[in-house]
Structure 1
């Protein structure tokens, strides 16, 4: 017992020791409270400095060195090499994967653009869509929707593929740890997907309408650019701004609804994502406490659970992107159905339509009628024949011309006159194949190629007849069309494709564009017609009194917005220059000299007549009688009698009323 009790000598030595350290606790208790209150809180730099002062000594001590030496240096080096190898091999794989995806998307888009554009221009579908207003913004569908479709489709394909691989890999892990947890996760994801579809059911239509309204707003801005001069003359800036703001407000209102629907879906998606995060740990933890699994299995189950949740919930997490993609698919599908002829409107093709045929005809064939005109029979060559044609408007079916019979022979120039709205321009549309509403037959007689040809459909002319049919007829209207390109392209359009050195240098190489889009594969519609030289182009510009245009715009290969930099009269003269270069056998002129003075009008008509071109003109000027051999006068049709005839054809000679008007002019 005495061994457990300190000796008296030890106690005395402890408390009577002269060392001052044993009195420090007592001294601390005797400190003034005022000193504690006056103490300032250390600032952040001071805390960092003190932390380093306290912690640093260990890291320069021998004990730290020994701990470092005890690590497995060989294993560390091996793991480091594994990481560096995976890093070096992974970067090229990921970069090349993304590059391959983007390249494939670009080539897919290029092919689809060519595919849709060929169908868009086939059989004048682009004109029918525009004139009948069947669908909105086909240009936006070709440009934006095709680009979005290809890139998004490939992105989703890779995402679903990665999700499938990930699901297969981690499902086995989670199912092996605790099968009921896997079943719960499957049911949870299916229910979440169903709720997401229900909550986001309006997103597809809202995205569809947003595409339309944004495209409408952009189209309004394009029209401002194209009609800037007319708007400026009218001083219509305020009205145009109001119209544009009205279109923008529609897009804004629709986008507001879209954002509200997206917000509501985000509430559910966020709750769905985080509500179940605690489930795997809560389910597996009791198994750890009972000793059935190790602690690492908990982390393993949580990781596998989150991977599978992401894979199963792909539709939930990507629903907004999927709904936007669905709108793109809907717009492209509607466009595709229209091009295939399976759309509900089916381009509003009439039940009864005009038949247009192309027929080969020998120049020496004597079977000509002598019903109209004053040109001797031996100088004639039949170009056009109309039999029992009744022309109606495509949408309303209103009759414009009833039971028209007409023949046009070589040098048999026809002037079409009548009050506004009587159907003069509609007649030219029918002759050009743009309008088919009505009944009757229109036959074009093409040049003889030594073979006998039966009448064929204009949609599919036989080989050898297509270029002749195109060469046989040409139409020019009040405002000529100016293409996007050089002055040379304006003159060569549409008979020859432009292949100037400047264009060839800017043409993408064949290893970039797919074969369907390479420019060398584009067909030239000139047939055997010799391509004009630069001297030919300069001479024809002189013939139409536009000789100064080359010096004004510094050559034939400069590019401008020609519809803006040229006056309407200059554009009309440029259109006549095209005719003198291509020399079609028959042309349709819809007030094509309305912006010219009478001397220039006479000059151009004499040139095309001297070139051997037969023309059908629409106009109101009395001076036009001087350049035509007969006149077709169309009055407004007000009778419902199918046998009623609202037109007359008379020769223009010295004894006729038109001849007297010709003499007076």
Structure 2
């Protein structure tokens, strides 16, 4: 189970392991420069705040003494300070937000590079502890950068104000300084001990349940046609309601604990309204201190107490922040670390080669719980085709995953060329977000192919009107919805003929097409120099391959030559 972090050194280590990447990156000097500017502006704001507090006490004392000249002089100085302070305060907010968005951009690019690099996005799909990676990248990174800077500013502001106003309060009443320290420590201990560890866990669970609910709604949108055909609206509604019930129940638990916290926090805060007056009131009544000192001492007391009790005042946000750190930390570890291999198990050896061959390959599921095929050895001559057939669940597609490097649980060796020389055509083709031209050239991004050649290939796969139908090759549509599965499979073959890979792997790539259409596409594939491996059930597929690999349900296999 995933451990939910409390306020301890592990949490701080997780925070620093994520944060330091930006502050020591190639953008470190701009980041540090902006942070220094934020600190300078914050310190300037503290100075202004201290001066304004003194001026408020000054004109209250002037009113009490009925000194007109002193009153108007303090008022003019007060508003003059405000005029000077406003640009600094506004600039401080602007600079902090600029630093936050720069930090978020760098972290997003860094996480996306790791997530989409080395197929980490595929590997973590088998990790049950890493839920909703989309939320962790889009939302948790934003929260991390915003809240990190926010808490840094709060802490620095507390330190500046603590030093500034402690001297002021010490000059007014030393006992009041000792009292505020004791009161702050007591409040912090009670808050962290009673509420902190509970709220961290609840906030972590709330983030997870909110993400699950959103993902459930996304699945309905992405599979709208299938759900409509099945008439599955009632079940989908029940599923969505169940996911939202999880959100609702946990949120009720969250606000219940926040209520308990607010009761304590408000009681704790309201008591402080009268404490400075109770302690220094007798000295004012005796004439030892002016009436304005009450306001001055009250303001200083409140600011010092606020600085010393950050955990009390910010606990709900801190617990949410801790949950976000945990999610980013576990996500980062998952995409950066290689999968763990159980003791006594091994991985398949992949060897770079000009051809394609399997040598004593024994393939297991990624969790090593089941052996799919055992001790396969074969070689595919260049330009030939291998057909893999067998019962559902026997491991046909799993062999393709192993060749593609997606699965490596097992023993033996796979000899294959570089992955950029292999094109994979799945049963349900992947339709990218982009133009028709990008669909046809995917995954290549630097091919210089004329519109005429693209149109010729579309005619070869029996899609002659496709470009015209949508307004040209640069038209952008939701292709997975506007094209039927059969049309999508034709588009996939068009990719094959345009990108001209040396090797292609076809996993039920013509299942949505009729036999004549399948024959048209495979005959054109045979006319190329491409070496290909197909998985399928139709007997007609044997007409286009030279070898047949039959997989049985008991881990055995048989390799035959196909004669026509």
TM-score (normalised: structure 1): 0.72
Matched residue, 2:371? 399
- Residues 143/350 of structure 1: CA separation in 2 closer, same or farther (3 Å cut): farther
CA distance in 1, matches of 2:84, 2:380: 77
- Residues 350/588 of structure 1: CA separation in 2 closer, same or farther (3 Å cut): farther
Matched residue, 1:142? 137
CA distance in 1, matches of 2:81, 2:275: 34
Indicate which of 586, 602, 605 corresponds to 2:503. Answer: 586
Say if 2:276 and 2:301, in contact at 8 Å, map to a contact too.
Answer: yes
- Residues 608/268 of structure 1: CA separation in 2 closer, same or farther (3 Å cut): same
Matched residue, 2:3? none
Matched residue, 2:113? 118
CA distance in 1, matches of 2:157, 2:428: 56
The count of corresponding residues between Structure 1 and Structure 2 is: 497
Query: What's the secondary structure of 1:404's corresponding residue?
Result: strand
Deviations 1:449-489 (A, max 9, x none): xxxxxxxxxxxxxxxxxxxx133212111101001111111
CA distance in 2, matches of 1:224, 1:633: 37
Matched residue, 2:91? 96
Q: Does residue 490 of structure 1 match 2:439?
A: yes
- Residues 132/189 of structure 1: CA separation in 2 closer, same or farther (3 Å cut): closer
The one of the two structures with greater contact order (alpha-carbon pairs below 8 A, sep at least 6) is 2
Indicate which of 272, 275, 281 corresponds to 1:276. Answer: 272
Matched residue, 1:534? 451
Matched residue, 1:415? 387
Say if 2:384 and 2:530, in contact at 8 Å, map to a contact too.
Answer: no
Say if 2:361 and 2:374, in contact at 8 Å, map to a contact too.
Answer: yes
Say if 2:385 and 2:544, in contact at 8 Å, map to a contact too.
Answer: yes
Q: Does residue 438 of structure 1 match 2:406?
A: no
- The CA deviation at 1:346 is 4.5
Query: What's the secondary structure of 1:494's corresponding residue?
Result: coil
- Residues 232/492 of structure 1: CA separation in 2 closer, same or farther (3 Å cut): same
CA distance in 1, matches of 2:164, 2:356: 74
| More helix as a share of residues | 2
Deviations 1:547-584 (A, max 9, x none): 11111111111211111110000000000111111111
CA distance in 1, matches of 2:412, 2:500: 29
Matched residue, 2:477? 560
CA distance in 1, matches of 2:68, 2:362: 100
Matched residue, 1:623? 540
CA distance in 2, matches of 1:223, 1:298: 62
CA distance in 2, matches of 1:99, 1:72: 39
Matched residue, 2:248? 252
Matched residue, 1:476? 425
Query: What's the secondary structure of 1:294's corresponding residue?
Result: coil
Indicate which of 277, 281, 287 corresponds to 1:285. Answer: 281
- The CA deviation at 1:397 is 2.7
Query: What's the secondary structure of 2:549's corresponding residue?
Result: strand
Say if 1:397 and 1:437, in contact at 8 Å, map to a contact too.
Answer: no
Matched residue, 2:176? 181
Query: What's the secondary structure of 2:119's corresponding residue?
Result: helix
CA distance in 2, matches of 1:389, 1:219: 37
Unpaired segments ≥5 residues, structure 2 = 1-66
Matched residue, 1:243? 239
Deviations 1:114-167 (A, max 9, x none): 101111122211111113434111111001100111111111111211111111
Q: Does residue 426 of structure 1 match 2:422?
A: no
Say if 2:124 and 2:335, in contact at 8 Å, map to a contact too.
Answer: no
CA distance in 2, matches of 1:78, 1:295: 16
Matched residue, 2:8? none
Say if 1:415 and 1:617, in contact at 8 Å, map to a contact too.
Answer: yes
- The CA deviation at 1:72 is 5.3
Say if 2:121 and 2:335, in contact at 8 Å, map to a contact too.
Answer: no
Unpaired segments ≥5 residues, structure 1 = 1-69, 362-382, 447-468, 498-529, 639-645, 654-658, 660-665
Deviations 1:198-223 (A, max 9, x none): 23221111111111001001000000
Matched residue, 2:40? none
- The CA deviation at 1:87 is 4.1
- The CA deviation at 1:89 is 3.3
Give the greater-gyration-radius structure (CA). 1
CA distance in 1, matches of 2:255, 2:146: 23
RMSD after superposition? 2.1
Say if 1:350 and 1:436, in contact at 8 Å, map to a contact too.
Answer: no
Where do residues 248-397 of structure 1 align in structure 2 (5 Å cutoff)?
Answer: 248-341=244-337, 346=340, 351-359=345-353, 361=354, 383-397=355-369
Query: What's the secondary structure of 1:616's corresponding residue?
Result: strand
Query: What's the secondary structure of 1:170's corresponding residue?
Result: helix
- The CA deviation at 1:605 is 1.0
